[in-house]
Copies of this chain bind each other. A is one copy, B any other.
Amino acid sequence: MSKEKCVLAYSGGMDSTISTVWIQENYNMDVVTLTVDLGSGPEIERVRERSKKAGAIESLVWDVKDEFVNNYIFPGLKAGAVYEDSYALSTALGRPLMAKKLVEAARKVGASAVAHGCTGKGNDQVRFDASVMTLMADSSPLKIIAPAREWGMTRDEEKMYANKAGLELREVGNDQRVYSIDRNIWGQAIEGEDLEDTWSEPPEDAFSWTKSIENTPDKPIEIIIGFEKGIPVSLDNKKVSGKDLIEKLNSLAGEHGVGRIDHTENRLVGIKSREVYETPAAIVLHKSIKALETLTLSRDQQRMKNTISQVYSDMVYDGRWFTELRNNIDAMMNDMHKYTTGEVRVKLHKANCIVTGRRSEYSLYDFDLATYSTDDIFEHSSATGFIDIFSLPGKTQAKNQTFHDSK
């Protein structure tokens, strides 16, 4: 009788290669590796080769960058998904898609389990597990295996497994990677030793996508980003695909030092954690759409969107992507962005991302109302009536409750 199969999310790194062996030995299962390409730039051929050496019976590599951009990144952009006003949720948006592909692959190859390399302390395990549990709910259940959460290996055991995986010891010993990095087209998250002291400035070698201010060009560049219904569709008046735009902006903005985030954040698992990110395109695009919204959304819409954005960001961060509430919010966001069409001009200079202009055919900014010139069409005389009624509750309360100015 043939063994049961497990589909393992496979990055090609040491841990996931060891996991390939570990699952075979500890679960007595055949392993199919799945490398989900979200723009993390894996060296594809090496991935296949390594996975085979480690005993995988099949090595899948799926490029889902366009799906990632259109169905995860852009809905997040439209919803203002920035965790704790800081982090554009690059990894968090990628995990549910990876989980979805894991389940798809498992169904396709007839696997009874899926596996991922997350440990027991991070957010990613939750995002993976919660997504898989939801997506498999309408069919037969899949076992979820998380070797790094389960194994509790010593260094020696790791070496043994590395050997079995066909990785040379040298490779293990030389593992000079100081930082733990997770990377996709929407940004990279950098964690690790030096960053764990919240009083220390992140060392320059933590960053690889963005230049330090000192090394950025002295001359700024200006770019114009065009939006249609909340989706960025053009760069400097040329239509561009979402994927190409993001890659271009990562390069341009990174060159000018834009994109570094240094944030002490609340993890879902109840601890605070110091995280460093590089998300050049995400910063430019979130700033741009916000600027455009100041023209195209009413004050009430902006307030509502702000409230919802906070909820949405927490949901994405917490791995609650595949939920009805996320669908519900997306429905509102799609409706709210009916008129988020227009252009934003952005200057990139010395780590600054400055919006220098915004315009829209649907702009609610009305020059004739707003101008300070004497030709404005605003009814000044309405003001006193407005103020009378606007002030009435405060006046009444001050009278009846003897307002005591605490200041």
Given A299-B393, A359-B198, A393-B300, also A213-B350 (CB < 8 A): yes
Q: Does residue A140 face the partner (Cβ distance < 8 Å to B)?
A: no
For A325, list chain B residues within 8 Å (CB).
298, 300-301, 304
Q: Does residue A330 face the partner (Cβ distance < 8 Å to B)?
A: yes
Given A271-B396, A390-B130, also A380-B119 (CB < 8 A): yes
Q: Does residue A40 face the partner (Cβ distance < 8 Å to B)?
A: no
In the bound assembly, the distance between CA atoms of A75 and B270 in angstroms comes to 27
For A1, list chain B residues within 8 Å (CB).
none
Q: Is the CB of A199 within 8 A of B359?
A: yes
Number of chain A interface residues as a range: 35 or more
A residues with a Cβ closer than 8 A to B are 71-72, 75, 84-85, 97, 100, 119-121, 125-126, 129-130, 133-135, 137-138, 149, 180, 191-193, 196-201, 213-214, 218, 220, 262-266, 269-274, 291, 294-304, 306-308, 310-311, 314-315, 320-325, 327-332, 334-336, 338-339, 345, 347, 349-352, 354-359, 362-367, 369-373, 376, 378-407
Q: Is the CB of A324 within 8 A of B137?
A: no
Given A137-B399, A149-B383, also A393-B372 (CB < 8 A): no
Q: Is the CB of A388 within 8 A of B382?
A: yes
Given A198-B357, A272-B365, A398-B137, also A130-B191 (CB < 8 A): no
Residue of B201, B265, B334, B399 near A357 (CB, 8 A) is B201
Q: How many monomers of this chain does the complex have?
A: 4
Q: Is the CB of A272 within 8 A of B300?
A: no
4 closest A-B pairs by CB:
A385-B385, A120-B380, A270-B392, A137-B398
For A382, list chain B residues within 8 Å (CB).
120, 384-386, 388-389
Q: How far is the CB of A118 from chain B (nearest CB, A)?
A: 9
Q: Is the CB of A371 within 8 A of B196?
A: yes
For A365, list chain B residues within 8 Å (CB).
198, 264, 272-274
